[in-house]
C-alpha cells in the first residue's frame, strides 16, 4: 500500500504551497552517507583517528542525531519525506520543497539506479532537475565506483551558471558492506580485517569531505552543507572474536548516526550534545533553506526538544532508549 502511494506521488512534481523563500546561502548541499556509525568517528570521541579533517573542521556537529529507521529505504523514505513513523507522505519531500521554491536541484549518486533496493530512493532523484548516477544498475553491481568519482559531477553542478539557488544532493556508498571492496586502501592493517576496512572507509569519507569543502570554497559563493548517515550498523561482536558488522534493528548503534553542517560562514568547530530525531529532517531543511510551506513547520536544532525518541524497526515504532547498547570496538593503535 505504501509502495503504491509512493508510485503515485512520484508520477509528477508536486507544488508545495510555498509561503516564503529567504535562503541565507546561494548553494545548499545535502550529502547522504551510508552505514556510518557515530561512535567510530574520532570527531565524536573514537580514540583512533578516523576523521582527522572533520575533527577540527569549522562547522556545527550534532552529537545525538537518531536515524528514523535501520536500513537505506526505510530510513530515507521517512527522513526525506514528511513522516511521523509507520507511514510517510511521499509527495511532501525535500526535493519537491526546493523545486517549489524555485531552487535548481541536482541528484548525484553512487548508489543504484535500478534494483529492488534502489528504486524507492531513485524516485527522489527523478524529481530533481538533473540526475547523475555512476552506476546504471543496482547498488551492488559488478563495478565498484569510489565515492570520490562523484567529484567531477559535483564540480560541474557548482559551475552551472544558473541564477537560481541550488540544492545539490550527493548520495554516497560510504561504509556499506562489503567494506574491503568499498575502499581504496586499508590504512589500518588490523588483523581484524573487517573492522580495518570499515574504519578505512571513514578515512576516505573524511578526505572526501575535505575535497568537497575545497571545491565549495573555490566557487566564492556562499554555501552550507549538511551531512548525515542513513543508519548505522550492529557490531555482532563476541568477546575475543573478530568483529562482524551488519545491518540490524535491535541496537542503539543501528540508529546513532553523525549529523553536521559545514557552512561558508562557520568560523569555529562547535559540538552540540542533544538528542534530535531524523523525523525532524524536513523541518530542519525548511529552516536551513529559508523555504516555508504550509505543509512543513520549520524548526532549528535549538528549537527541537526531543524527549522520547522513537524509531521504526521494520515493523513497529519502538523507544530508542529501550534498545540494547552495542559499543564501538576499540583498536590498540
Ligand atoms: Zn543504508
CA of 72 to the centre of ligand 1 (A): 3
* Predicted confidence band of residue 241 (pLDDT cuts 50, 70, 90): confident
Tell me what pLDDT residue 242 has: 84
CA of 219 to the centre of ligand 1 (A): 31
Domain ranges of the chain: 2-322
Q: What is the mean pLDDT of the segment spanning 30-40?
A: 98
CA of 174 to the centre of ligand 1 (A): 9
CA of 76 to the centre of ligand 1 (A): 8
CA of 53 to the centre of ligand 1 (A): 23
Distance CA 176, CA 47 (A): 22
CA of 51 to the centre of ligand 1 (A): 20
CA of 117 to the centre of ligand 1 (A): 10
CA of 231 to the centre of ligand 1 (A): 6
Tell me what pLDDT residue 120 has: 82
CA of 71 to the centre of ligand 1 (A): 5
Distance CA 12, CA 292 (A): 21
Q: Check the CA dihedral 53-59-63-69 and report its sign.
A: negative
SS3 per-residue string spanning the chain = CHHHHHHHHCCCCCCCCEEEECCCCCEEEEEEECCCCCCCCHHHCCCCCCCHHHHHCCEEEEEEEECCCCCHHHHHHHHHEEECCCCEEEEEEHHHHHHHCCCEEEEEECCCCCCCCCHHHHHHHHHCCEEEECCCCCCCCCCCCCHHHHHHHHHHHHHCCCCCCEEEEEECCCCCCCHHHHCCCCCCCCCCHHHHHHHHHHHHHHHHHHHHHHHHHHCCCCEEEEEEECCCCECCCCCCCCCCCECCCCEHHHCECCEEEEECCCCCEEEEEEEEEHHHHHHHHHHHHCEEECCECCCCCCCCCCCCCEEECCCCEEEHHHCECCCCCCCCC
CA of 57 to the centre of ligand 1 (A): 25
User: Is the pLDDT assigned to residue 10 strictly greater than 60?
Assistant: no
CA of 247 to the centre of ligand 1 (A): 8
Superfamily, domain 2-322 = Alkaline Phosphatase, subunit A (3.40.720.10)
User: Is the pLDDT assigned to residue 6 strictly greater than 70?
Assistant: no
Distance CA 134, CA 101 (A): 28
User: Is the pLDDT assigned to residue 302 strictly greater than 60?
Assistant: yes
**Residues ≥6 apart with Cβ < 8 Å to 45:** 39
CA of 74 to the centre of ligand 1 (A): 9
Q: What is the mean pLDDT of the segment spanning 279-297?
A: 97
C-alpha cell at 203: 578515512
Q: What is the mean pLDDT of the segment spanning 172-192?
A: 93
pLDDT tens digits along 244-278: 899 999 999 999 999 999 999 999 999 999 999 99
C-alpha cell at 213: 569543502
CA of 4 to the centre of ligand 1 (A): 22
* Predicted confidence band of residue 171 (pLDDT cuts 50, 70, 90): very high
| Side-chain half-sphere exposure of 202, counting CA atoms within 13 A | 28
Distance CA 143, CA 135 (A): 8
CA of 19 to the centre of ligand 1 (A): 33
Tell me what pLDDT residue 140 has: 82
The model carries a pTM of 0.95
Tell me what pLDDT residue 8 has: 57
CA of 172 to the centre of ligand 1 (A): 9
Tell me what pLDDT residue 95 has: 97
* Predicted confidence band of residue 67 (pLDDT cuts 50, 70, 90): very high
Tell me what pLDDT residue 280 has: 98
Higher pLDDT, 153 or 121: 153
CA of 243 to the centre of ligand 1 (A): 19
Q: What is the mean pLDDT of the segment spanning 214-219?
A: 98
Amino acid at each position: 500500500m505504501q509502495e503504491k502511494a509512493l508510485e503515485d506521488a512520484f508520477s509528477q512534481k508536486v507544488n508545495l504551497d510555498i509561503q516564503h523563500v529567504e535562503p541565507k546561502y546561494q548553494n545548499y548541499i545535502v550529502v547522504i552517507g551510508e552505514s556510518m556509525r557515530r561512535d567510530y568517528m574520532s570527531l565524536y570521541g573514537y580514540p583512533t583517528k578516523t576523521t582527522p579533517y572533520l575533527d577540527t573542521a569549522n562547522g556545527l556537529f550534532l552529537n545525538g542525531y537518531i536515524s528514523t529507521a535501520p536500513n537505506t529505504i526505510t530510513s530515507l523514505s521517512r527522513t526525506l519525506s514528511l513522516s511521523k513513523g509507520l507511514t510517510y507522505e511521499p509527495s511532501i519531500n525535500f526535493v519537491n520543497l526546493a523545486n517549489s521554491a524555485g531552487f535548481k536541484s541536482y541528484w548525484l549518486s553512487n548508489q543504484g539506479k535500478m534494483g529492488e533496493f534502489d528504486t524507492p530512493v531513485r524516485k527522489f532523484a527523478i524529481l530533481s532537475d538533473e540526475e547523475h548516477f555512476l552506476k546504471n544498475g543496482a547498488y551492488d553491481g559488478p563495478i565498484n565506483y569510489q565515492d570520490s568519482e562523484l567529484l567531477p559531477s559535483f564540480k560541474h553542478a557548482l559551475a552551472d551558471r544558473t541564477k537560481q539557488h541550488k540544492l545539490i544532493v550527493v548520495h554516497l556508498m560510504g561504509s556499506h558492506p562489503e567494506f574491503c571492496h568499498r575502499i581504496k586502501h586499508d590504512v589500518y592493517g588490523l588483523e581484524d580485517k573487517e573492522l580495518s576496512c570499515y574504519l578505512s572507509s571513514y578515512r576516505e569519507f573524511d578526505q572526501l569531505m575535505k575535497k568537497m569543502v575545497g571545491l565549495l570554497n573555490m566557487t566564492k559563493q556562499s554555501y552550507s552543507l549538511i551531512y548525515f548517515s542513513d543508519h548505522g550498523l550492529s557490531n555482532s561482536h563476541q568477546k575475543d572474536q573478530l568483529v562482524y558488522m551488519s545491518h540490524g534493528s535491535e541496537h542503539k548503534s543501528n540508529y546513532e548516526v553523525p549529523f553536521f553542517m559545514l557552512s561558508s560562514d562557520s568560523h569555529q568547530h562547535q559540538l552540540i550534545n542533544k538528542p534530535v530525531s531524523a523525523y525532524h529532517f524536513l523541518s530542519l531543511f525548511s529552516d536551513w533553506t529559508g523555504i516555508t510551506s504550509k505543509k512543513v513547520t520549520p524548526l532549528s536544532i535549538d528549537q527541537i526538544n526531543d524527549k522520547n525518541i522513537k524509531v521504526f524497526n521494520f515493523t513497529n515504532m519502538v523507544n530508542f532508549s529501550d534498545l540494547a547498547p552495542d559499543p564501538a570496538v576499540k583498536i590498540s593503535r
